[in-house]
Amino acid sequence: MLGTAFNLKANEIQSINELTVTEGKVIFSKNSSPLEKIVEKGKKASVSMNKETIDLENITDENFLSWKTRILKFRETPFIEVAKKLSDFYGISFTVTDSALKNEPFSTTIINQSADDIVKILQMANDNIEVIKTESGYNIGKKK
């Protein structure tokens, strides 16, 4: 670590570790391996348990730090991706039930708002959608 801000995320199912760096530089290495790379601000590194390389790429997801900032930004983002992010963010399911809606772009910035508020905003922005509250979250489809 070289004086930085970063986020480390481990996916146990896929045996992948990911590091995203927002400030400074971080040395990223694999346990019991000489493999290491310096990851700079704005980059994401990933390594898998069954792979002997560290992959580096630019951070493209504007919301990768949303868990910390409590801010979500969408800029003409396909609705299916918006629903996935909202599900991760709020820990409840936002399911797009209508395929015609999945690729429809949606733009908003959400700061410290409740899931119910988001649903209200979604409905106000699009007169053609219908949201049904379920036990696990919300189903979002087109009005019949």
Partner 1 sequence: MMPKTIIFLLLLNLSSVFGQDILNREVVIHVKDLPVKNVLDQISETTGVYFTYAGNLSVMEKKVSLNIDRISLHKLLADLFYGEEIIYTCYSNQVILKRKPTPIKSFTIRGVLIASGSDQPVEFASMQFKQSGKGSVAAIDGKFEISATSKDLDDSIAVFCIGFEPRVFSVKYLVSLDYHKIYLIARPLALDTVEFVAKRPITERAGNRGIATGSLYLDTHGQQVALYIENRKNVSGRFKKVNFYLSGKGNTDAPFRIRIYGVNDSLGCPGEELLPDIIVVKPNERRGWFEVDISGYNIRFPGNGAFVAMEGVYPGDYAHFINTTNFDKEETGESSGEISEGTLDYGQRIGFNRFSGNNTWHYSVSNTWFQLNRKLFNVMISAEILVHSSKKIKIRSHEDSSDFLSEFSNFLADYFGAMW
Among 53, 107, 134, 136, binds partner 1 (CB under 8 A): 107
Helix H or strand E segment including 75 = strand 71-78
For partner 1, the closer of residues 53 and 103 by Cβ is 103
Identity of the residue, 51 or 70, whose beta carbon is nearer to partner 1 in the bound complex: 70
Question: How far apart (Å, rounded) are the C-alpha atoms in residues 52 and 66?
Answer: 30
> Contact between 66 and partner 1 (CB under 8 A)?
no
> Which strands sit side by side in the sheet containing 16-23, from one edge to the other?
5-11, 16-23, 43-48, 54-58
Task: By CB under 8 A, name the one of 116, 120, 132, 134 that touches partner 1.
Answer: 120
With CB under 8 A as the contact rule, which of the stretches 9-17, 21-29, 99-107, 133-141 interacts with partner 1? 99-107
Backbone φ and ψ for 42, nearest 5 degrees, come out as 85, 5
Contact residue for partner 1 among 9, 51, 70, 75 (CB under 8 A): 75
* Under rule CB under 8 A, residue 127 binds partner 1: yes
Question: DSSP for 45-70?
Answer: EEEETT-S-EEEEE---TTTTHHHH-
Residues that bind partner 1 (CB under 8 A): 75-76, 104-111, 113, 117, 120-122, 124-127
